[in-house]
Amino acid sequence: MAFIAGQVLQNGKYTIDRPLNQGRFGISYLAHNKRNQKVVIKTFRDDAWQNLNDADQEETNNRLLREAGVLGGYNHPHIVNFIHLS
């Protein structure tokens, strides 16, 4: 899902600032929350997701879950903190 600068997500919880990076399957965005704290939001690219069969979609989703689990274990000033997955 592609977002644009200024787009508000989850009933005002987050606001997109700008794209950070785009990979084969996803796009990462710099955003901020209601407290004006910087956050990174990662989403699947629509075109990449739709071209995957069910098994590949499941594997890609599992990889994202593993990545979130790994990020949740870090506490370092140069690594983003994992907040939640939806």
Which domain covers residue 38, as residue numbers? 8-72
Instruction: Answer yes or no: is 80 within a domain.
Output: no
The model's pTM is 0.77
Cα-based angle 73, 64, 61 (whole degrees, multiple of 5)? 145
Total count of domains within the chain: 1
State the first-to-last Cα distance of the chain, in angstroms, to the nearest integer: 13
Q: Which of 34, 36, 3, 35 is nearest to 19 (CA)?
A: 3
CATH of the domain at 68: 3.30.200
21-78 pLDDT, tens digit each: 998 888 999 999 999 998 999 888 888 888 889 999 899 889 888 888 888 888 888 8
Instruction: Answer yes or no: is 68 within a domain.
Output: yes
pLDDT of residue 7: 98
What single-letter amino acid sits at 69?
G
Instruction: Answer yes or no: is 18 within a domain.
Output: yes
12 in the Ramachandran plot: left (φ > 0), alpha (ψ -120 to 50) or beta? left
Helix (H, G, I), strand (E, B) or coil at 9: strand
